[in-house]
Structure 1
Amino acid sequence: MIYLLLSILASSWILITFKLFSKYNVDTLQAIIINYIVASLSGLIAYSKPINIVTIAKYDWFYGTIALGLIFILIFNLMAITTQKNGISVAAVATKMSVAIPVIFGIMIYKESTGIIKIIGITLALVAVYMTSVKTTEGISIKKENLIYPFLVFIGSGIIDTSLKFMEKNYVSEIDTAIFSSSIFGFAAVIGILILIYKAITTKLKISIKNIIAGICLGIPNYFSIYFLIQALRNPSMDSSTTFIINNVAILLVSTFAGIFFFKEKLIPKNWIGIILAVISILLVTFSI
């Protein structure tokens, strides 16, 4: 349970850091790419065995990390587009609702428990995500032509979590968790650097110290959010579907309260109902173990 708690705290710190980006006019793309570099280096430092690139390339999970690195970059850009075209609430709901994909995967593929209490808890969790994320009384409105963007964010985010569970269970040994996580961020960093090079060629590109600092502040917790989540998924007393639900809903709660206390964000009654449902859902899912 300690790994799950640490993953929640690290992921919540990421969201808090993102909120600070707009306040300090941080170039999000530059910070994200620096973040991937720092996250990858964090994994290399944490890896206890000698690092041999040739050996790493022979691991069964190697090509999976390339795919995940690409998806990380794609989802980041899709989230930005979704926010621009549909609003931040739509992006938040699409990202958090994606927890349904690894939950369904765990239940169907790994035959995880599906007691009535757990099903009620999962249902309440999804309702809570929606009610807590939407900051307007009117709810969410999406134009038909823009529907594809939140849909892709939903699918992509779900694929990331599902892939992490699949590779953790089938290919990644516990001692290789650090280098596995580092490799994912490393390939995301390589793709990001290529994007920066392209921007430098086609437009004027100025990398400031502010963006580098922001990337470092984001990269370290980003690495540990993945590392601790993978370790939490190894807990034999807790199904992956339970872990993902508790992780996502708890992150939503922590980030919401951080928004209230540190950023003076205002919540509407629907949001408070969502928070209550989120707490109830965590209790139901936890006690259904």
Structure 2
Amino acid sequence: MIYLLLSIAASSLIFVIFKLFSKYEVNTLHAIIVNYFVACICGLSLYKGSTAVAEIPSQDWFYGTVILGLIFITVFNLMALTTQRSGLSVVSVATKMSVVIPILFGVLYYKESLGMLKIIGILLALVAVYLASIKSKEGISIKKKNLIFPFLVFLGSGAIDTSIKFMEGEYVAADDVPIFSATIFGAAAVIGVFIILYQIVTKTFTFKAKNVVAGICLGIPNYFSIYMLVQALRADTFDSSTLFTINNVAIVMVSTFLGILLFKEKLIFKNWLGIGMAVVSIVLVWIASK
């Protein structure tokens, strides 16, 4: 349970940091790339297992982490593009509603139970995510030509959670969780370097120290959000469908309240209704898991 709470706390802190990015005009792409390096270093620093760094490419989970690293940075760029074309609310909804993908995977692959109470809780959670994320009375409006971008964010975000669940369950030893998490971020960092090199060649790169500082601040909670999520999955307190539902909905709730407390954000009635439904959905899913 403590790992789930820490994962929620770390993910919610990421929300605060991203909000500060816009306030201080941080180059999000550059900060994200630095963040991947910092997250990788965190994992390597905390690793106490027997697998040497040179042996990482020989691990069963290595190629999976490389693919995950590619998905990480691809989804980030899709999120940035979706934000520009359709707004932040669309990204938030697409990201959090992607929870249905690991839930379905858990039910179909691991044969996890899915009673009526849990189904109602999950459906409430999806509605709650939508209502808590929209910031206008009109709701969300997306042009047809831009529909592909939130759809890809939805698929990519769901693929990340599902892949982490599958790999930690099938291939990652208990002692290798820190280095497994570090390798995912390391792969994303390497891909990020190629992006920076391309920008240097095309003379579109500008170095700013604040982007490095921002990346460092983001990298630490980002690492622990993944590390704690993996540990929560391994703890077997909840099955994956329950854990992912509670995790995603709780992040939306905590992030919303942090927005009110730290950034004086104003909520409309739909947001408060979403928060109320989120609480009910967590309670229902929790009860269904007992």
Q: Could you state the TM-score of these two structures normalised by the residue count of structure 1?
A: 0.98
* Aligned 1:22-41 pairs, distance under 5 A: 22-41=22-41
The answer for the alignment partner of 1:193 in structure 2 is 193
* Aligned 1:49-64 pairs, distance under 5 A: 49=49, 52-64=52-64
The answer for the alignment partner of 1:124 in structure 2 is 124
Q: How far 1:234 sits from its partner (Å)?
A: 1.0
Do residues 284 (structure 1) and 284 (structure 2) align? yes
The answer for the alignment partner of 1:109 in structure 2 is 109
Percent identity, aligned pairs only, is 64
CA deviations over 1:221-274 (Å, ceiling 9, x no partner) = 000000000000012231000000010000001100000011011111011000
Number of equivalenced pairs:
289
**Comparing 174-183 with 108-117, which one deviates more in the overlay?**
108-117
Amino acid corresponding to residue 69 of structure 1 in structure 2? G
**Comparing 45-54 with 130-139, which one deviates more in the overlay?**
45-54
Aligned mates of 1:18, 1:81 — CA distance in 2: 15
Amino acid corresponding to residue 246 of structure 2 in structure 1? I
The answer for the alignment partner of 2:216 in structure 1 is 216
**Comparing 46-55 with 119-128, which one deviates more in the overlay?**
46-55
Q: How far 1:50 sits from its partner (Å)?
A: 5.3
The answer for the alignment partner of 1:146 in structure 2 is 146
Q: Could you state the TM-score of these two structures normalised by the residue count of structure 2?
A: 0.98
Q: How far 1:115 sits from its partner (Å)?
A: 1.4
Secondary structure of 2:158's aligned partner? helix
**Comparing 93-102 with 47-56, which one deviates more in the overlay?**
47-56
Q: How far 1:53 sits from its partner (Å)?
A: 3.5
The answer for the alignment partner of 1:232 in structure 2 is 232
The answer for the alignment partner of 2:172 in structure 1 is 172
Aligned mates of 1:183, 1:254 — CA distance in 2: 29
Secondary structure of 2:207's aligned partner? coil
Secondary structure of 1:234's aligned partner? helix
Aligned mates of 2:227, 2:35 — CA distance in 1: 15
Aligned mates of 2:206, 2:89 — CA distance in 1: 31
Q: How far 1:139 sits from its partner (Å)?
A: 1.1
Aligned mates of 1:103, 1:213 — CA distance in 2: 36
**Comparing 219-228 with 43-52, which one deviates more in the overlay?**
43-52
**Comparing 123-132 with 113-122, which one deviates more in the overlay?**
113-122
Secondary structure of 2:140's aligned partner? coil
RMSD (Å) for aligned C-alpha atoms:
0.9
The answer for the alignment partner of 2:43 in structure 1 is 43
Aligned mates of 1:158, 1:79 — CA distance in 2: 13
Q: Which runs of 4+ in 1 moved over 2 A?
A: 49-54
CA deviations over 1:62-102 (Å, ceiling 9, x no partner) = 00000000000100000000011111111110001000100
Amino acid corresponding to residue 148 of structure 2 in structure 1? I
- Unaligned runs of 5+ residues in structure 2 are none
- Unaligned runs of 5+ residues in structure 1 are none
Secondary structure of 1:135's aligned partner? coil
Aligned mates of 1:115, 1:208 — CA distance in 2: 52
Aligned mates of 2:268, 2:249 — CA distance in 1: 19
Aligned mates of 2:179, 2:209 — CA distance in 1: 28
Amino acid corresponding to residue 129 of structure 1 in structure 2? V
CA deviations over 1:123-154 (Å, ceiling 9, x no partner) = 10000000000111111111111100000000
Aligned mates of 2:237, 2:285 — CA distance in 1: 13
Amino acid corresponding to residue 139 of structure 2 in structure 1? G
